[in-house]
Structures are given as C-alpha cells and as structure tokens.
Chains A and B, each alone.
Chain A
Amino acid sequence: MLKQKNYFALGAVVLVVVLLLSLPTRATERLKLVFGSWFLPLFGLSSVAHQLPADLANSVLPRRELLQEIDKLRRENQEFRSQAVQSAAIARENDQLRTLLNWQRQTPWKLKLANVVMRDPANWWRTVQIDLGSRDGITNDLPVITSEGLVGRVSSVSYTKSQVVLIGDGNCRVSAVVENTARDMGVIIASGPVDTSLVQLTYLASGANLKAGQNVFTSGLGGVFPKGIPIGQIVDARPVEYGLYTEARVKLNVNLGSLEQVYVLFP
C-alpha cells in the first residue's frame, strides 16, 4: 500500500510536470536558458580541454613545417585574391545587367561564425546549440550554413546561445531545386533517425528526370532560405503514391555528425 509520503512525492512530481508543460513557449525558453546556464563552468572546462592538445601540438611543431604551411597559405591567399577580383568584376557586371533589365539587385550574404557547443541528447531530434544569441543579433529562422552547404535554421534564441534545427529534422523543411534541365522542385523533409547524411526530397513531379549525382540547391521559396545554397546530391529516386509524385534520397554535402563551426546567414 502507498503511504502518505509516497502520495505526496508522486503528487509533487506530477504537479511540477503539469506546471512546466503548461507554461507558454517564451517562459519555457527562458527556463531552458536558466537551467542550461548551470552547465557554463563545464562548458569552460570542456573548451579548455579541447584547446589544450592543439596548443601543445602547436608549441612543438617544427619551424620548417610552419614555414611550409605559411608558404602554402600565401599561395592560396594569392589565388583567392585573384578569384575575388574576378568575382567582383562579375558581380559588377551582374548588377549592371540587373539594372538594365529592372531586376531587383541581389544583396550579398552577411555571415557570422559560430561554434557548435552542444548536441541534442535525445535521439529523436536533430538539433545543436551554437554560441551566438540575441546579443549577437540572432533571431529565429535565420539560415545556418557551412562552406559545404546548408546546415539548418535557427529555431530558438536566448541571450548567449541559440538552438539550430538541422536539415533532416521534422521541424526543418526546405524547398529545394534539382540542377537539371527541368529544374525539378521538391521539399526536403524528415529522414530516418540513424543516418544523418541522407535526407528525403519529396513532392517532385511524377515524370522528374532525376539521375544520381545531380546537385540539389535551395530554391528560395518559403522565405526562410535564400536561393542557391547547396544542399547535396541525388542518390536515387522512386515514384510514390502510385506514381503521383517522385521521391529522391539526397546525400548531404555537410557532415552533420561532425559539425564544429557554422555560419549564421543574415539577410
């Protein structure tokens, strides 16, 4: 038989759960921030522990190797500078042509670098936390990318941290276009829970001419992700719902399992 103190404990726990689950979203996010901030000392220790081996390795690196590295970086820098000059000329020409055609001018991307500090401990969500928050100008729904391609979008923001929902999670749907002659369009939806490198591209036209290796980009529809961010390559395709539409598997350009640094893309 349950004693009185057992009833009391059970009641207290249920009361706390009901209270927390009935809080408005804004209050919940603030509470999450408060409880998450209890772990700040461990974050600090963890980042120091990560940095220490790299610092030690750097301090014992031979001078010759460092000089070789500098030489290599100088050459790369020169290549990038010449490419930047070319790109600037192309951008100017693009702007002039857009002006002649009365098209809206494209705004260049503004990027802010962020470190991935935490991963979702639950297996049924695909989110990470980054070390930029509202104090850095982050707002909800900003796209998050790496140099390889799309990562996801900002889903909630606190003062110092933000949660990013990754591509392939049910809460991050992306309108995408396939780089083929027909420019087939579809929507990237939730994929399987284990393999983070593959996502589903669905609602493609039933006669879509898809081949393995074709590139997939963001289409710019939907208003969250700008046009032209690389997503991945088509792996295979199959008709679904009795041929009503086509579904394809897309291998992501970005390795979501080893994200360390990402860029938040500002409009």
Chain B
Amino acid sequence: MNPFKTILILAAAYLVVFGEASLSFPRNVLGAQVDLLPALMVYAALNSGLPTLSLLAILGGIWFDSFSANPLGITILPLFLVGFPIYLRRDLILRDVPFAQMVLGAVASAVVPLVTLLMLLSGSKEPLLGWGTLWQWLVMIAAGTVATPFIFEVMNWCNRTLGYQPRQETSFRPDREIQRSRGKL
C-alpha cells in the first residue's frame, strides 16, 4: 500500500479547513463560505482505499468542527455518508470524466450541509436558518461542482510529481539472452 496518497489527501484536507476558517472573501463577496471537503471526499472515494476514506471523514470533520460552533464530530458522519456509497460503486463510475466528477461534487456538496443541519436540528441546536440559507446552499453546490474536477487535476498532478510510481516490468530476461559469442562454450 502506498501511504503517500493518504498523506496527500489528509494534507489537502488540512489546508482546505485552514483556508475556510481564515479566508473570509467568499463570505463577503458571495454571502456564503464555500466548503471543499465534500469535493475532496469524492476524490478520496474514487482514488483511495477505505482506511483513507474513513481517516479523511474523521480528521476532516474534527478539524472543521474545531474551528466552528458545531458540536465536535458532527461533520464526520455527513462526510462519510457521501464518500462511502461512492466508494462502494466506484467501479461503475467514470472517474476520469470531468462531467461525472462535477455531478458527484455537486451531489456531495449538497448532501453534506443538509445532513449536518438535520443532525444539528435534531440535537436541538439553533443554527441560523432562513431564505438566505437556500442561497448559501446553492453557492456551496456551485463551488463544489466547479472545484471537484480542479481537485482531481491538482491531486493527480501532485501524485504524479511527488509520489513514487510503481516500477514498470520489462520484457528483458537475462537468462533468455541468446549467446552470440563464438569459440568459447
């Protein structure tokens, strides 16, 4: 197993969460903070194993909640609920097609905030909700849709550039080399 991909995905999640907590221009310009963790979850579900997927859901969710007024751990389950079904059906998904990536990114970005809000409301919390929430949700979906193919490109590039590649098998076999020398046998 190649641990580099797992480290790369977790590092990306770390940077994404930091960016979401420290950059306020999407909120000031669009009225909503974009969340790229669902898009990253789609990438992890299609390109890595189940342990990486679970780690991303757990660590990404905990990091996100540690900067938020959310109860700690509430974002883990929505992230995992998005990644797990994609992982189970990933052999049937055209993972290299940007349109498929965009559709999956849109669905993931729509489902994660919805499930999180449902869990918050069922836990008798009082999140800020109103007609503006619909706009914020649409912004998050749009951002997730656009960002998913971009995340695929960046992560694949990082993987190619920084990760070690499996050694190619060659057809050369020394024991089958034809002896061409004369005289000496």
Which residues of A does B touch, CB under 8 Å? 2, 5-6, 9-10, 12-14, 16-17, 19-21, 23, 28, 31-33, 35-36, 38-39, 42, 46, 117-127, 129, 155, 163, 165, 168-171, 190-195, 257-258
Find out whether the CB atom of B58 lies under 8 angstroms from the CB atom of A32: no
Contact of B72 among A28, A122, A124, A155 (CB under 8 A): A28
Answer whether residue B64 sits at the interface, using C-beta atoms and an 8 A cutoff: yes
Contact of B133 among A16, A124, A126, A155 (CB under 8 A): A124
Find out whether the CB atom of B129 lies under 8 angstroms from the CB atom of A32: no
Whether A194 touches B62, Cβ cut-off 8 Å, given contacts A121-B17, A121-B20, A163-B69, is no
Find out whether the CB atom of B62 lies under 8 angstroms from the CB atom of A17: no
Which residues of B does A touch, CB under 8 Å? 14-15, 17-18, 20-22, 24, 27-28, 31-33, 35, 50-51, 53-54, 57-58, 62-74, 76-77, 80, 84, 88, 113, 116-117, 120, 123, 126-133, 135-136, 140
* Chain B facing A: main interface SS: helix
CB-defined A-B contacts under 8 Å, sample of 24: A5-B50, A9-B54, A9-B84, A13-B77, A16-B73, A17-B76, A20-B71, A20-B73, A21-B71, A21-B72, A23-B72, A32-B72, A36-B66, A36-B67, A118-B67, A121-B67, A122-B33, A123-B32, A124-B120, A124-B129, A127-B68, A163-B69, A170-B127, A171-B126
In the complex, A124→B64 CA distance in Å? 13
Find out whether the CB atom of B51 lies under 8 angstroms from the CB atom of A9: yes
Find out whether the CB atom of A155 lies under 8 angstroms from the CB atom of B69: yes
Contact of B70 among A23, A33, A125 (CB under 8 A): A125
* Chain A facing B: main interface SS: mixed
List, in ascending order, chain A residues with CB within 8 A of B32's CB: 123, 194
Closest to B51 in A: A9
